[in-house]
Amino acid sequence: MSLLFIVQLLAAAAVAATSCRDSECDGHGMLQMHVDNHGSEKRPESGKAAAAADGSTRPHGRKFTPDVWAPKFEAPADKQLQLECRGESFVKCWTFFTSADPTHGYVQYISEDEATELKLFKVQQDGAVWMGSLVGQDQPVKAIRLQSKMRFSEGHIFVIDIQHMPTGNGTWPAWWSYGPDWPNNGEIDTIETVNIEDRVYQTLHTSYGCFMNIPHIFDPDCNSEDAHNGCGLHGPPNSGGPAFNKGGGGVFATQWTSAGIQMWVFPRGQVPKDLAEDKPDSSSWGSPWAFFPFGASCPSTHFNDHLLVINLDFCGDWAGAVFPGGEKACEAFVTDPSNIDKLQEAYWSINYVKVFAPEPATKSQAKSEKTATKTQTQSAKEKVVRKGEKMEEIKTEAVARKENAINHRSEQPPDDTAPDTPTESIGSGKPGHKSAKEKIVEKGQRMKDIKTKGLKPMENIINHRSPKAPDASTQSTRSERPELLQDQDQ
């Protein structure tokens, strides 16, 4: 290699070191090369640097969450409790992640064998799984990151029962899930907190096109800061840190369906009976603490094929950025042997992780749904009957009004003589009420009587004019009244 070539190479390196963008340079001004999900080298996308407590910045580029092959989870549809991880069988649900931390934490994730050897992973006498960390060793902290052996899609309830959550300055514990090709298949953070905060953060991270316009959200754009920030909100008070542990821990339930993602937090002593008995009925749990609905603003297609993750990180992009003095101060704190006692709470104690099928779940729920359907059917029938009765009443009233009008017109006598048949009072439901047929018959009879009475005078005149054989009485009358006979003859 010629001397000229070496000089040119050094000059090119110097130019690259001084001209690289912040998002592509590490803390020493050296050009970073990242490996993408398919193993090829790639320069990261330009992004905003995270501000630390001391005002310095740390470039983080694209959050690298490596894809891990895992089969899709399958279970009988009629089986409600589809996966249970607890006690000695807890470890069978997980693989130990041993790659470099994707969020730049000052941590070394270790294998199952090393974790067992260092007594950082063990099952306690009460059956709870204890997962600790090795701090104060003048080197990156040795800790554990578990990832499920199966991938999950919508249609499940994920439940974790925690006795003790890691806490302490520099800690960054999380219970979450993510899909391949981050963030294109989404990330769901049910538990995420740093240092000694007493509340967890519950957050979604997605590719562009998912917005959650819900109350108390920090940022509705789930792709904010290229998905590094996501869209999240605070969990309930005492849901993390020392306060959570002091209360005996609790249970977190995350339901993922085609309608959205819902999260409940149940303190110890307030866990629903149906959930404790492995027959969860989320409709009886009350409103979730967090509900991220799917729809036009955020299609459900943003979330697919998730691995479940439990991990304890230290410092890194979040805990290090907010640590007093910044990330370097955080790293110095967690590696200092004199701070071992100050980080003795940096461990998990987990009773179980369970995966349930979604609703309908319990027989009682099915029964309540059947009862509700029956009640609705009965109510509909009652409405039809009431409607029929009302129509009948309206029809009867209309007929009565019409009959009243007819009777009022027809019941006018032609002379001062009262009709033979008394008029009945008409009114719906009153005594003496007659049918239309009866009244028509009466009307006909009255008309006949009137006609008969009108014909009688004419009959009398005709009878007087008709020739009859004279008898003694007639002769006597005619002879007594000769002027009347003459008038009649004329």
Residues annotated as catalytic are 187, 192
- How many Cβ atoms sit within 10 Å of the Cβ of residue 86? 17
- How many Cβ atoms sit within 10 Å of the Cβ of residue 130? 16
Bridge partners for 129 per DSSP: 123, 350
- On whether the CB atoms of residues 52 and 320 are closer than 8 A, the answer is yes
- Rounded to an integer, what distance in angstroms lies between the CA atom of residue 161 and that of residue 191? 12
Burial class (CB in 10 A: 0-12, 13-18, 19+), 81: middle
- On whether the CB atoms of residues 173 and 265 are closer than 8 A, the answer is no
- Rounded to an integer, what distance in angstroms lies between the CA atom of residue 208 and that of residue 213? 15
Give all strands (DSSP E) within 306-413, no chain letters. 307-314, 348-356
- On whether the CB atoms of residues 179 and 187 are closer than 8 A, the answer is yes
Give all strands (DSSP E) within 380-478, no chain letters. none
Classify 285 as helix, strand or coil: coil
- On whether the CB atoms of residues 432 and 424 are closer than 8 A, the answer is yes
